[in-house]
Amino acid sequence: MDPSPIDNARSPESPTAHVWTQEDHDLFSEIMNEAGPSSSAAPEEAVDVSFAAPQRFSHGSQIAPDSMVDRLFHRGLLPDSDQPTMTYEIQGHRYTAGLDESNRVHLVHNPAEDQVLGAGRAGVPDFGAFFAENRRYGTPLPQQWATPALMDKLREEGFMPTANSPTTIDLNGRAYKAELEEGGFVKLTRV
């Protein structure tokens, strides 16, 4: 309750009597865990919603499948007016989710540089965020070609195969032998 007199005169201790400075704004932003003008924003934490993805989920930007929306709705994990965008991890891939003009959930597959390496078996990173398996009748093909984003990440992390020296990598929890082929392409064979 404001102890101000009835004629709306404010006391000197009233919150509206204080003039906000840039220093106040920066401190408030820091407390609220927002990026102030003098700080840099940390990447938003991704919520793993792989459980909600359909069995034959195909990676890429798209309208979220109805079954996925239903599962996310029941867990309170859909974007809404209070939180218009959310960051999801779906089977190792990072997505930004938001509502389109028709109130449908649109999944935007984040670019390769925004993807993060997952933890694989025995300390080998899982590069699945940089690769979408080609499938036939729901089963991954035994041999596939690495995407340019995957080859860039393999080079960056020191797992790029060389001539006559293949490497073993993880892709979405599955082991693959990566071999450098003619023309600089990388052939992936399930182990």
177 close to 168: Cβ distance less than 8 angstroms: yes
Give the residue extent of every domain in the chain.
43-110, 112-191
According to the model, what pLDDT value does residue 28 have? 58
Q: Which amino acid is at 179?
A: E
Q: Given strand 105-109, what is the order of strands in its sheet?
A: 47-48, 85-90, 93-99, 105-109, 62-63
**Which tokens is 75 given?**
């867990």
List % helix, strand, coil for the chain (3-state, nearest 5). 25, 25, 50
The topology under which CATH files domain 112-191 is Ribosomal Protein L25; Chain P (2.40.240)
Q: Is residue 86 helix, strand or coil?
A: strand
Mean of pLDDT values over 22-47: 55
Q: Is residue 121 helix, strand or coil?
A: helix
According to the model, what pLDDT value does residue 47 have? 84
pLDDT for residue 79 is more than 50: yes
Q: What's the pLDDT tens digit per position in 140-162?
A: 778 888 888 788 888 877 888 88
**Which tokens is 106 given?**
């649109």
Which residues have CB under 8 Å from 138's CB, separation 6+? 55, 56
CA dist 55 → 89, 127, 138 (Å) = 15, 20, 9
According to the model, what pLDDT value does residue 176 have? 84
Picking from 57, 117, 114, the residue whose alpha carbon sits closest to that of residue 92 is: 117
pLDDT for residue 184 is more than 90: no
pLDDT for residue 7 is more than 70: no
Query: CB under 8 Å, gap of 24 or more: what pairs does 176-181 form?
Result: 178/146, 178/154
- Lowest-pLDDT choice from 37-41, 80-84, 90-94, 154-158: 37-41
127 close to 169: Cβ distance less than 8 angstroms: yes
- Report the C-alpha gap between 131 and 109 in whole angstroms: 12
Look at the pTM and tell me if it is higher than 0.75.
Answer: no
Exposed/middle/buried for residue 146 (C-beta within 10 Å: 0-12, 13-18, 19+): buried
According to the model, what pLDDT value does residue 158 have? 80
pLDDT for residue 23 is more than 50: yes
Q: What's the pLDDT tens digit per position in 87-142?
A: 888 877 788 888 887 888 988 877 655 555 555 555 567 777 677 666 777 677 78
pLDDT for residue 81 is more than 90: no
